[in-house]
Structure 1
Amino acid sequence: MSRGNEGSSGKGSGRQGGKSGSSSKGGNRRNAGSQDHKSNTSGRGGASTKNTRGGKNQVIGTSRSGNPVTKKEYINRKKKENSTSKKSSATGIRLNKYIANSGLCSRRDADIYIAAGSVTVNDKPVTEMGFRVQPSDEVKFDGRSIEPKRKEYFLLNKPKGFITPRTGEKQSKTVMDLMATASSSRLHYIGRLGRKSLGLMIFTNDLEIANIMNNPKKRLRKIYHVALDRSFKHEDLMKIRNGVTIEGEEIKVEDINYVEGGKNNEIGIEVHSGKDNIVQRIFDSVGYEVVTLDRVVIGGLTKKDLPRGHYRLLSKQEIINLKMLA
C-alpha cells in the first residue's frame, strides 16, 4: 500500500510537476517572446513607432545619427536631392544669350558663330548650342573677351538737323552724337527719323528688342504732329482715313484729324507701319508736302517733361510695357 501510494503519489506529483513545468515553460516562452518583441520594437524606434510592413511608415534603416528612417522619409529625401541636382545643372546663362547680352549680335546670329567655332569658353572652343556659361567662366569671341552688360533703354527727343545713320553709314551730326554720353554700351535706335524730322526715338543696347521693333511688319504705335505746305482739304483727309495705295500696297492709318487749336495745315496722324518715310509718302499720295514732322508718341511713350535735344532713361514699368509690344 505504501509503495502503491508512493507510486501513485509520485505519478501524480510527477504529472503535476510536469504540468506545472510545462505551464511554467510555455508561459516563460510566451513571456520571453513578448519581451523580445517589445525590446526589438523599442530598439528600432521606441514603443510609439509603427512598423507597418510595406507602408510608408516602415522603418528601412537608420540615419548617421542612429535615428530610424522610414520609407516615406527616404523617398522625400531622394526627391529633394534630385530637385537640387536639376536646379544646379540649370545654373548659368545660355551661351547664345550671353553673347547677345554683350551687344555684339542677336541670339540667332550668335548660334551661327558658335557653330562656326568662333566662340571659346575658358580658352576651349564650344560648339554646343545649349552650353551654359557660369559666372566664373571667361568667354571670348574671335579671341576678344566679352561680357554681358546691363540692358539700358533711353528715350530721345530728337531736334532737326541730325540724321539717323544706317549700318556702316558715316555722316556728320547724327543722332548717335546726341547719345554719345548716355552709355558705354553700343546703342541701337528704334524708330528712324530723317534730318528734317524731329521727335521721339528709343535707344537701347538690347539688340534683339531693337531688331524686333524696327521690323517693317511690326506694328509699333506712332503719333505725329504734321505741318503741311498749305491748308488741308477735308476730302483729302477722308481719302487718307479710308486708306491710300502706295506702290501697289494699301496703307491704313489708325487715325487722322486736324490738330485742335491749330491751323488748317496742322494735322495729327497715327500710324503703326514701320516703313521708312511712311508719313511723308501718305501725304505725297494726295498732293501735299510735309514741312514739319514731329513724332509725339512712340510705343505709348510721350514727350512729357523731355525738352528737345535731351534724353532720359525709361522707368522699369515703361521697359516692361515696351517688351510686351515686342
Structure 2
Amino acid sequence: MRLNRFIAFNSNYSRREADELIFNGHVTVNGKPVLVPGYDVKDDDNVSVLGKVIDRSDFLYVKFYKPRGFLTSYGDPYGRKNLNDFEFFKKTKLAYSGRLDNDSEGLIFFSNDGRIIHRMQTPKYDVEKEYIVYTKRPLGDEEKLAMENGLEIDGHRFKKCSVEKIGRNKYRVIITEGKKRQIRNMFKHFNIEVERLVRIRIANITLGELKPGDFKFLTKDEIKGLKECLRLE
C-alpha cells in the first residue's frame, strides 16, 4: 500500500496532510526517513509520523447493518441520510469496504487497518460477498445459468458467481467482485426487478443477529479468520 494512503487510513491525517508530512521528512519507515508518498508499505514495516509509531494494536474492526434508505458515505450535499447519522461512525470516520446503494441493506465492514481495507477492495483476493435477493418474478433456468457463468453488460464481463434459489422469488447470490449496483444490474439484464437486497456476509464476516442500524466489534476469532481469508496470516 502507498505510504500516504497507509497514513491516511491508519491515523487522523488526510491524504494531503500525509503528503506534506512525508515531503517535510516527518515520516520514517523502519527508522529511516522516506520522502516518497508512493513508497510501498509492507505488512511488517514500522511507520512513524512525527516520531510516533502507528500502532497496529489500536486497529478497530467493526461490522454494521446499514439500513435501507441510507447512503454509504460521510455526508451528502443533498442532505440525504448517511453514515454521519450514526454517532459512532460520525466520530470515528472509519474506512469501509462493501459500499451498498441507498436502496440496499445489510453488512458493511469498517476498520482503520489499512492493510485489511486495501485487500478487501483488491480484486485479486476474490473476497466473497453473499446476498439474499428478493425479486418480482423468478429467474428462468437459462437465465440463472447465464448469470452463474458471468454476464456481459455494457462491455464488462462479470466473473462467475453462485446463484441458489431458496424461495419462490428469493435467491442466495455469492459474488467475488463489487461493481456499482452489480446484482441489481444482473437481474435487470433479464428485466427482473429486485424488490429487496440484503448483504449477509463478506468473507468470513456475517451479519448474524444484527438489526438495521446496529454495529458490533469483531471477535478475535473473526479477525483471525478474516486475516486468513486475505492471506495476512
In the TM superposition, what is the alpha-carbon distance from 1:218 to its structure 2 partner? 4.7
Distance 1:132 1:266 in 2: 48
Q: 1:183 to 1:247 in 2, by over 3 A?
A: closer
Q: 1:146 to 1:219 in 2, by over 3 A?
A: same
Q: For each residue in 1:222-251, what CA deviation from the matched residue of structure 2 results, as whole angstroms up to 9, or x when unmatched?
A: 111111122322221122122211222322
Conserved? CA contact 1:102–1:148, under 8 Å: no
- Aligned ranges for residues 235-246 of structure 1 at < 5 Å? 235-246=142-153
Distance 1:269 1:132 in 2: 40
Conserved? CA contact 2:64–2:109, under 8 Å: yes
Q: Which has the larger radius of gyration?
A: 1
In the TM superposition, what is the alpha-carbon distance from 1:159 to its structure 2 partner? 1.4
Q: 1:158 aligns with which of 61, 66, 83?
A: 66
In structure 1, runs of 5+ residues without a counterpart are: 1-93
One-letter code of the match for 1:258? Answer: K
Q: 2:193 aligns with which of 283, 289, 297?
A: 289
Pairwise CA RMSD: 3.6
Conserved? CA contact 2:98–2:108, under 8 Å: yes
Is the partner of 1:181 in helix, strand or coil? helix
Q: 2:135 aligns with which of 220, 228, 234?
A: 228
One-letter code of the match for 1:227? Answer: Y
In the TM superposition, what is the alpha-carbon distance from 1:155 to its structure 2 partner? 0.6
**Alignment correspondent of 1:6:** none
Q: Which has the higher strand share?
A: 2
- Aligned ranges for residues 14-33 of structure 1 at < 5 Å? none
TM-score by length of 2: 0.75
In the TM superposition, what is the alpha-carbon distance from 1:219 to its structure 2 partner? 2.0
**Alignment correspondent of 2:50:** 139
Distance 1:191 1:304 in 2: 16
One-letter code of the match for 1:205? Answer: N
**Alignment correspondent of 1:175:** 83
Q: For each residue in 1:150-178, what CA deviation from the matched residue of structure 2 results, as whole angstroms up to 9, or x when unmatched?
A: 11011111211111127x75443113423
**Alignment correspondent of 2:34:** 129
TM-score by length of 1: 0.56
Conserved? CA contact 2:25–2:33, under 8 Å: no
**Alignment correspondent of 1:219:** 126
Q: Which has the higher helix share?
A: 1
Distance 1:248 1:95 in 2: 34
